[in-house]
Structure 1
Amino acid sequence: MANHSGQQNIGDIRTRLVDGPKLTEFAASLPFPLDPFQIRACSALEDGHGVLVCAPTGAGKTVVGEFAVHLALTSGAKCFYTTPIKALSNQKYAELVARYGKGYVGLLTGDQSINSDAPIVIMTTEVLRNMLYAESPALRGLSHVVMDEVHYLADRFRGAVWEEVILHLSEDVRLVSLSATVSNAEEFGAWMETVRGNTTVVVDETRPVPLWQHILVGRRLFDLFDVEANNGAPGGVVVDKNLVRYVKERVQAERMGAWEAPRGRGPRSGRSGGRPGRPESRPIPRPDVIKLLDEEGLLPAITFIFSRAGCDGAVDQCLRSGLRLTSEEQAREITEVVERHTAEIPRSDLEVLGYWEWRDALERGIAAHHAGMLPVFRHTVEELFVRGLVRAVFATETLALGINMPARTVVLERLVKFNGEAHANLSAGEYTQLTGRAGRRGIDVEGHAVVLWQSGVEPTEVAGLASTRTFPLRSSFRPSYNMAVNLVDRMGVDASRMLLERSFAQYQADASVVGLVRGIEKNAVARRELLGKLGGEDSPYVEYTALRARLKERERELERQGRTDRRNDAVTSLVSLRRGDVISIPSGRRSGLAVVLETDANSVDPRPLVLTEDKWAGRVSSADFPTPVSALGHMRLPRHVDHRTAQTRRDLASALRGTGISAPGRGRRRQSSAGDDRELGVLRRAVRSHPCHTWPDREHLARLAEKYSRLERDTEAMKQKVAATTNSLARTFDRILALLTERGYLAAGADGEVAVTERGAKLGRLYSESDLLVAECLAEGIWRGLGPAELAAVVSTVVYESRQEGESAEQGPTGNIRHALTRTVAAWHELRADEIRLKLPPTREPDTGFAVAVYKWARKESLEDVLFAAGQHGRALSGGDFVRWCRQVIDLLDQIRSASPDDEVTATATKAISAIRRGVVAVDAA
């Protein structure tokens, strides 16, 4: 915490302003003064309110959570402290143990249970959700719950858990929600008020450590914003003019093919550089960036690289360059920490995991940090970085979402990252979240964010990212199969439906309905005005307008039908082509003669391979043929035609031109059936014979009528959106109930009420993303008869998700596994068919990509063999990925152990857990 000169007196004043004896007592125990936002939140909490605190990273939000702990302890009650990830739970456990002692603090993270009856228990949010559904006796005496990082409810995979907890917690429990700065905090707080009663929203956007924004152009470090225009403060909106001029000169020089660095130095500049006579559009090498930051006094630094391989490559570059950021004494201290963390890992496994290279980098003060690393390695890096022994970390963006690991400087190599589907620009929220790591409270006077300039990076765009504070919180909540049976079991169908309608997801959806309803009302006023100009509802022109609208719609309908018929004719003709047929492509760049090299019998979208007389080879489709295609002649082709070679294409094109066949003129398009349509004829006659058809102001009225019709269409579309949005979660819930009833998880009782069956109760204990598929496999005995390693392999298929498409293996290592996988996939197909029929979100298809690896590991094979067995394209699976997937398999096996109706499967799951939890996996779980 900051403790600059003169600040202690301010802190004394603040402390005296604190209302409430418990807050005064708590504030007196702290080694730093409370900030105004902390006082507001803690005072509201002592007054019996729930609180939502939104503040930047490092602002001290957790102090409010710690005050909730203090309130619970001093009143003889309990406090649960929840976090989104186990690493944060472990970190918070260590902090509270240091403060209150082991006897007062417990930890529950799924795989760990330490002192679970303590008055303070730290846990992951999923653990608390499960306790609520099970109505655990541990909930008795609970007065406060702290939900750290509550903005995780936007996470599309796990976000629903946060809303479930908020909705299910007893009303007399005070909820402390801690969030990163979000732009719709008031909306979220208003929802919390509706579902939990008095909730005070405290928003603080002031960073405790000022953040300076920079762009590094070559070897020159510029301030992003004009310091003078902003009265010497960081931030602002005016971009530094020296930076703009320098970048402009550099871009112009690169276009000319030569570059010579201009003389002079920009603000905060390093050495001028760049090779004379050569443009440099790429940033300087990574080791040089670190050296420059070191010279400027800007280490320790976290460099965000949106690629695991990029992070590891950056460390390798620094090692090859000879870069060293530590003294001999620091290197010895680092070695002691490394050996302490890795003492339990077998030496043979360390060799496989690249231990010596990793350790060498650490001893020089350099490290990578990403999810592909072994967790023990990652935790070692975190400890060394917090202690100031590691000074340069290359990390993926996951570091910004989890562990408390701030730096003096954050470096962004690029402003584009792969989002799982495509490369996309960073959003302002993502930029703020990443750069929020810069500036350590109580250590740094100021933090620094550095963007590396390269071609295409505009200073004004960076300024837009740095000055925008928009990070809206969007609910990802949706009912699942597991949630449905647990809700019905606890409160019945009607109360469950009402609870879903109280979710933040429905609250936000209903808020969007407000705008739609306003639009509907606005359209109604405009329609009334137009109706008056048209002569009122009884005007004959209203009837005439309706006739014209029906005529226009019928013409469109027939044209659509004509296009469909023409495409169907073209598809049929393409399917009938034979190899060697000479055809004519009627239009486009490939128009002219072509010969069919390969046919395609696909009756939906045939794409035969052809070669044109212009030597182009490729596939054509029905879109290339407005009329059906027919063979104009035939050519004899060699048995094997390699159309990829230029010589083959030349020879065939020459032979095609030598056939003497000529392309016909463009054929007549098939006429639509409009001329033969009886309804169309009736409508046309009705329009022509209507009295209004001869009115002199017909066209003026027609324009008014078109506006009226457009308003009607817009209004109807908005009404449909309102109908689709209102109670949308409840409708999804009803569809889920229908499927669960069909499959025997729910049944109507004697009183007509829906009840959870024994089969449904088992489903209620499964919290997997593929919960219903797992329940089906257990209920139908699909996984019976497997050994421990075989069960682990099959279970992995509903947990594992390949990082890239096409990575999944097709065969299991044993006949038992292959048979079980075949039946599992068949069960998935049946379930997916039902989901499509009922318009439910899809259950993910089983993925066999991890089956061989976990099978080998459970059979005690070496880590080296296992990692290569799990790898793809000649690359081994990373140690971190391997441990993470093993942990997820263990989690699901543990659920299966309590949910299986078969004692044999239960016993096998228990043995499988023991078989997997060894070596590096066991070290991580410890």
Structure 2
Amino acid sequence: MDDDMEMFDVFAEGSGSLLSGNTDKKELLSNSIQKTEMNKRKQKEARERANKLLGELATGNAANKDVVTISSDDDDETDDSDTGILSKRSKKENTAEELPGLASHPRNNIKTVESEGNCSHEVVLPPNMEYVPLKPRTTAPAKMYEFQLDAFQREAITCIDNSHSVLVSAHTSAGKTVVALYAIAMSLRDKQRVIYTSPIKALSNQKYRELEEEFGDVGLMTGDNTLNPDASCIVMTTEILRSMLYRGSEIMREVGWVIFDEIHYMRDKERGVVWEETIILLPDTVHYVFLSATIPNARQFADWVVYLHDQPVHVIYTDYRPVPLQHFIYPAGGSGLYEVVNMQGIFREDKFTEAMNVLSQVGDAGQGGISRGKKGGTAGAPHVVNIIRTLKERDMIPVIIFSFSRKECEAYATQMTNLDFNTEDEKVKVKEIFVNAISLLSEEDSKLPEIGRVLPLLLRGIGVHHSGLLPIVKEVIEILFGEGLIKTLFATETFSMGLNMPARTVLFTSARKFDGKDYRWITSGEYIQMSGRAGRRGKDDRGLVILMVDQQMGQDVAKQIIKGAPDPLNSQFRLTYNMVLNLLRVEGINPEFMLENSFYQFQNYDALPQLYANVERKKRELASYKIDGETEISGYYQMEKQIGVLKEAVKEVVTKPKHLVPFLQAGRLLHIVSNDKDFGWAALLDFHKKANPVDPLGLDVMYILDVLMLLSAESAKNLSDITQLRPPNANEKGVVEVVSVAISCVSEISAVRVKLPQNLKAYEGKQSAGRVIKEVLKRFNGIMPLLDPLNDMKINDSVLQENIIKLQALEKRKDSHPLRENSKFDEIYKQYEKKLELEAELKVAKTELKKAQSLLQLDELKCRKRVLRRLQYCDENDVITQKGRVSCEVSAADELMLTEMMFGGIFTDLATPQLAALLSCFVFEEKAGGTKLADDLSGCLRAMQEYARRIAKVTKESKLEIDEDKYVESFKPHLMDVVHAWCTGASFAEILKKTDIFEGSIIRCMRRLEELLREMVGASKAIGNGDLETRFEEARVLLKRDIVFTASLYL
């Protein structure tokens, strides 16, 4: 078994209990039970405050007070199998509206501490703890620095000297690492162990190198490497720390501090839950240093940690940048940069307008613009080259160029053919570093084309950095960039995370990105993270950020991107089977405990005061509405609704292409309604067909109409996004523009066609057409004659005919309704509509309150337990079985699938290379083209897919939502033949010929596969299956060779 696996204490087999004759483990269990009891006490404290605050809330006197838990006196009781620690609450009788009892955590105390310089300092304290001012250090500091510390660094270090946990929230490159280094130095001085966690293995390797050079007594534990595990300071990934906590590792008994680097990574949808599990499971005796980019809800996060661990947490926040930034826009097709935000942070509206005017003059993405389309071309390469050439001439390098596609990064780099940034001496250094690194490879691997084509770029000071590169090449590029030997680096946004490698300038090749579903504007948080790489402390007086824009963007959009707030730290907590089973295995806590204490639950509790106040406000506002003759008004309203339903039914038939297309002649006036916005009458210019992107087969055809319609001048600045367009307000002068709309936006078809001016591209031509439409409306007194669906359009549809007859009858009744004779009818009707709107808002507000006060995801937990019982992973008493123990060992891939396949014997009949190939489906996640497999591989793939369908069936029967086809397709076979060839001895060059997947992606998949195989070895050992243990180990040995597992240059 590998060293890193030996670090973990394994649970006793049999019942899964921790109590099998181990005194130390009994102590650990006792601590766990004490922690549970402490949480019960917290709930009791909450109840004691509830009655007082509830009365205040009900009368609206607690607007600035916090809501607390209301539970029954028998709160500690549990029901059957699915209510556990802290999760059972009674519903206290409330108002006539029967709002459920308010459930919340006891509120912590918050104290603002006077701080120096440009930072803020708050401390969050447990409810019963008084604030005691921090004591100044009286002895020598644990670590000395050769430079003057910033205010936020001094404040944070004072907290650590007082053995208080601290969250430091500051911009990228502000110097947060200084605080972490001090905590490590103090731990080593005080003979305590300290754990440094990071979100990714590459960052862990880099941190290990830095800390090992600084302190010496440093170890590393990742899925790939274990070095010096007995060291006082251990660098590890958060997944490793979580695994240690679940297994009751003895290391935790000696740990004084845990440092969480890049804690804002907790908002990652896939892996953020690991941070939450880890923070919840850590013992209360540990102190914490959390390092984060700027987050607006830093205090809320600290509040949660205090609630969990009953210790003060300080929040040190600064938005100070040691090197101020200037922000520029480069409009595609233009020839200059426009400073839109200066070094004082002021948005310059005049310069932004100038940039957008340039874009308008050349046309969106015109004249060689940088529009990419969906295939990710690089039409903007000439602009990138021109900008970089200008930056070189003005001594504004090094520069990081961020693109949102790996292929784009490489394509841009290859366009730099005539640029050379390095001197001859620098070229010698580059070659020396490169050759030394590549010497770690075998002779055959060092001749890979992927390695050979990198050196010419590196010699000229040009680099590429993305996840698809060979790891050794990526690390060489990082080292060269850090040494100042790469002046122009083309990178994806992953380069902005963690690695402390700033530049003089940052350039964005686009303001839009594809996020897996849609092309969208980048968020302010993404912009802040990447632009934060601009400006090198101690070298630059300012950093430059350049945003290339290839289409019109509104001023509000630009301000939101460049000047917007950072993304908040929101929980991504979700249940997993591995989590549920591990918590069932540990006595003293249970899955409900994890739910109750999650940041997800905490954030919902935090919203309770506002949600409750919102319900009360809506109720008071609703009670103020007294409408005379409400019964008659209600009847009239229902008739209006029915008319609306019938009109929509008629429209649905009339606007079908087969009925409408014959009447789509140029000049036809059409009534356009889009996104509930009524644009009035528009003149048709032309129409065209295109494939519906939602239809994977491309059989569904969409009709797009080009129409001239009246828009507000402000919204017309960005015609590409119809959702942002709006008609002009009553007192607003509009502009007539050509807009493309879907055929479904047609609300009515007029019988009128107008003759349009010839030149509709010119401003005057469009406005002239607008005047023609206005004149026609005036001629018909605003009531446009419509095409009759039956007589004019000749639609033969009995249902349509019936609906038209009903519609005409209802409209006749409506026009002759007695209420229409009331002079105040319009005013009364608007009041009634407002009342209905308020009733709907109240219903939503009550639903949100009810959801927030309940134990969230409890229903999902019940369903997951149901799945586990049906598949025999645990019994009716939640005692895990042999299958459950196997699943507890697997966290690198789908634990249920792998366990079912293991117990089904599918692995027993496979040759070792086949076994490795099949398991690759569990760890490869990228999109790729189809692959043709040999019969022996396609056979085992089909068998695996059958297991997936069985699990999906049980999941669906257990009332959990699941898309069976998507679940089956989540196991991707695209690297099966590659892994099979590798395990039968093929060279890396040979396997690259089998696929067009990036070489770095192949290596990442194989490394994850090796980690999974190690877990499968442990799972086999846990149930005493020596044969399977040997098979998985053999596969691991076949996999782990040559360039795929070359050691990191940082180690």
Q: TM-score, normalised by structure 1?
A: 0.75
Query: Residue 145 of structure 2 aligns with which residue?
Result: 30
Structure 1 547/728 Cα, relative in aligned 2: closer, same or farther at 3 Å?
farther
Query: Residue 5 of structure 1 aligns with which residue?
Result: none
Query: Residue 974 of structure 2 aligns with which residue?
Result: 849
Query: Residue 75 of structure 2 aligns with which residue?
Result: none
Q: CA deviation at 1:285?
A: 4.7
Other structure's SS at 1:333 match: helix
Q: CA deviation at 1:356?
A: 2.2
Among residues 346, 363, 375, which one is paired with 1:236 in the alignment? 346
Once residues 542 and 470 of structure 1 are traced to their aligned partners in structure 2, the CA distance between those partners, rounded to angstroms, is 48
Is the counterpart of residue 501 in structure 1 residue 596 in structure 2? yes
Is the counterpart of residue 813 in structure 1 residue 934 in structure 2? yes
Is the counterpart of residue 526 in structure 1 residue 621 in structure 2? yes
Q: CA deviation at 1:393?
A: 0.9
Other structure's SS at 2:326 match: strand
Among residues 760, 775, 782, which one is paired with 2:884 in the alignment? 760
Query: Residue 714 of structure 1 aligns with which residue?
Result: 841
Is the counterpart of residue 776 in structure 1 residue 900 in structure 2? yes
Alignment map for 1:298-337 (pairs within 5 Å)? 298-318=396-416, 320-321=417-418, 323-337=419-433
Query: Residue 55 of structure 1 aligns with which residue?
Result: 170
1:792–1:855 Cα contact (<8 Å) kept: yes
The one-letter amino acid paired with 2:412 is A
Among residues 290, 296, 307, which one is paired with 1:177 in the alignment? 290
Other structure's SS at 1:80 match: strand
Once residues 31 and 738 of structure 1 are traced to their aligned partners in structure 2, the CA distance between those partners, rounded to angstroms, is 60
Q: CA deviation at 1:214?
A: 2.9
Other structure's SS at 1:748 match: coil
Moved more, 828-837 or 215-224: 215-224
Determine which structure has the larger helix proportion and give its number.
Answer: 1
**What are the Cα deviations for residues 813-836 of structure 1, in whole angstroms up to 9, with x where unaligned?**
342x33322121111112223333
Structure 1 563/894 Cα, relative in aligned 2: closer, same or farther at 3 Å?
farther
Alignment map for 1:78-93 (pairs within 5 Å)? 78-93=193-208
The one-letter amino acid paired with 2:796 is G
Is the counterpart of residue 745 in structure 1 residue 873 in structure 2? yes
Alignment map for 1:257-406 (pairs within 5 Å)? 284-318=382-416, 320-321=417-418, 323-406=419-502
The one-letter amino acid paired with 1:915 is L
1:375–1:924 Cα contact (<8 Å) kept: no
Query: Residue 42 of structure 1 aligns with which residue?
Result: 157
Query: Residue 656 of structure 1 aligns with which residue?
Result: none
Q: CA deviation at 1:543?
A: 8.0
Q: CA deviation at 1:70?
A: 2.1
Other structure's SS at 1:893 match: helix
Query: Residue 485 of structure 1 aligns with which residue?
Result: 581
Once residues 606 and 73 of structure 1 are traced to their aligned partners in structure 2, the CA distance between those partners, rounded to angstroms, is 62
1:226–1:238 Cα contact (<8 Å) kept: yes
Once residues 940 and 361 of structure 2 are traced to their aligned partners in structure 1, the CA distance between those partners, rounded to angstroms, is 64
Among residues 963, 967, 984, which one is paired with 1:859 in the alignment? 984
Is the counterpart of residue 892 in structure 1 residue 1001 in structure 2? no
Once residues 673 and 458 of structure 1 are traced to their aligned partners in structure 2, the CA distance between those partners, rounded to angstroms, is 47
Among residues 87, 105, 115, which one is paired with 2:218 in the alignment? 105
2:892–2:1011 Cα contact (<8 Å) kept: no
Is the counterpart of residue 188 in structure 1 residue 301 in structure 2? yes
Once residues 381 and 868 of structure 2 are traced to their aligned partners in structure 1, the CA distance between those partners, rounded to angstroms, is 57
Among residues 788, 792, 796, which one is paired with 1:667 in the alignment? 796
**What are the Cα deviations for residues 629-665 of structure 1, in whole angstroms up to 9, with x where unaligned?**
xxxxxxxxxxxxxxxxxxxxxxxxxxxxxxxxx9993
Q: CA deviation at 1:253?
A: 6.8
Once residues 258 and 87 of structure 1 are traced to their aligned partners in structure 2, the CA distance between those partners, rounded to angstroms, is 41
Once residues 643 and 917 of structure 2 are traced to their aligned partners in structure 1, the CA distance between those partners, rounded to angstroms, is 56
Q: CA deviation at 1:841?
A: 5.9
Once residues 609 and 408 of structure 1 are traced to their aligned partners in structure 2, the CA distance between those partners, rounded to angstroms, is 50
1:225–1:234 Cα contact (<8 Å) kept: no
1:219–1:284 Cα contact (<8 Å) kept: no
Other structure's SS at 1:140 match: helix
2:276–2:598 Cα contact (<8 Å) kept: yes
The one-letter amino acid paired with 1:211 is L
Once residues 454 and 608 of structure 1 are traced to their aligned partners in structure 2, the CA distance between those partners, rounded to angstroms, is 31
Once residues 138 and 1002 of structure 2 are traced to their aligned partners in structure 1, the CA distance between those partners, rounded to angstroms, is 47
**What are the Cα deviations for residues 50-81 of structure 1, in whole angstroms up to 9, with x where unaligned?**
21111011111111112221222222211000
**What are the Cα deviations for residues 689-714 of structure 1, in whole angstroms up to 9, with x where unaligned?**
xxx99999999887766654544343
**What are the Cα deviations for residues 405-449 of structure 1, in whole angstroms up to 9, with x where unaligned?**
211111112111221222221111111111111112233332221
Once residues 504 and 583 of structure 2 are traced to their aligned partners in structure 1, the CA distance between those partners, rounded to angstroms, is 47
Other structure's SS at 1:176 match: strand
Once residues 31 and 182 of structure 1 are traced to their aligned partners in structure 2, the CA distance between those partners, rounded to angstroms, is 29
Once residues 465 and 550 of structure 1 are traced to their aligned partners in structure 2, the CA distance between those partners, rounded to angstroms, is 44
Q: CA deviation at 1:171?
A: 0.9
Q: CA deviation at 1:666?
A: 2.5
Q: CA deviation at 1:387?
A: 0.6
Q: CA deviation at 1:549?
A: 8.8
Structure 1 491/36 Cα, relative in aligned 2: closer, same or farther at 3 Å?
farther
Once residues 294 and 759 of structure 1 are traced to their aligned partners in structure 2, the CA distance between those partners, rounded to angstroms, is 62
Once residues 908 and 164 of structure 2 are traced to their aligned partners in structure 1, the CA distance between those partners, rounded to angstroms, is 52
Query: Residue 915 of structure 1 aligns with which residue?
Result: 1038
1:365–1:392 Cα contact (<8 Å) kept: yes
The one-letter amino acid paired with 1:719 is K
Once residues 455 and 563 of structure 1 are traced to their aligned partners in structure 2, the CA distance between those partners, rounded to angstroms, is 38
Query: Residue 630 of structure 1 aligns with which residue?
Result: none
Q: CA deviation at 1:307?
A: 1.8
The one-letter amino acid paired with 1:25 is P
Other structure's SS at 2:453 match: helix
Once residues 739 and 383 of structure 1 are traced to their aligned partners in structure 2, the CA distance between those partners, rounded to angstroms, is 49
Query: Residue 117 of structure 1 aligns with which residue?
Result: 230
Query: Residue 263 of structure 1 aligns with which residue?
Result: none
Query: Residue 628 of structure 1 aligns with which residue?
Result: none
Other structure's SS at 1:25 match: coil
Among residues 263, 285, 296, which one is paired with 1:150 in the alignment? 263
Q: CA deviation at 1:451?
A: 2.7
Is the counterpart of residue 248 in structure 1 residue 365 in structure 2? no
Unaligned runs of 5+ in 1: 1-9, 12-16, 228-232, 260-280, 535-540, 571-583, 593-603, 611-620, 625-661, 678-691
Query: Residue 433 of structure 1 aligns with which residue?
Result: 529
Q: CA deviation at 1:772?
A: 1.9
Other structure's SS at 1:224 match: strand
Structure 1 812/898 Cα, relative in aligned 2: closer, same or farther at 3 Å?
farther
Other structure's SS at 1:378 match: helix
1:606–1:622 Cα contact (<8 Å) kept: no
Aligned pair count? 775
Once residues 151 and 115 of structure 1 are traced to their aligned partners in structure 2, the CA distance between those partners, rounded to angstroms, is 28
2:1016–2:1029 Cα contact (<8 Å) kept: yes
The one-letter amino acid paired with 1:311 is C
Once residues 467 and 700 of structure 1 are traced to their aligned partners in structure 2, the CA distance between those partners, rounded to angstroms, is 42
Q: CA deviation at 1:126?
A: 0.6
The one-letter amino acid paired with 2:659 is S
Is the counterpart of residue 797 in structure 1 residue 925 in structure 2? no
Once residues 160 and 724 of structure 1 are traced to their aligned partners in structure 2, the CA distance between those partners, rounded to angstroms, is 21
Moved more, 512-521 or 821-830: 512-521
Other structure's SS at 1:79 match: strand
Once residues 124 and 519 of structure 1 are traced to their aligned partners in structure 2, the CA distance between those partners, rounded to angstroms, is 42
Once residues 722 and 699 of structure 1 are traced to their aligned partners in structure 2, the CA distance between those partners, rounded to angstroms, is 35
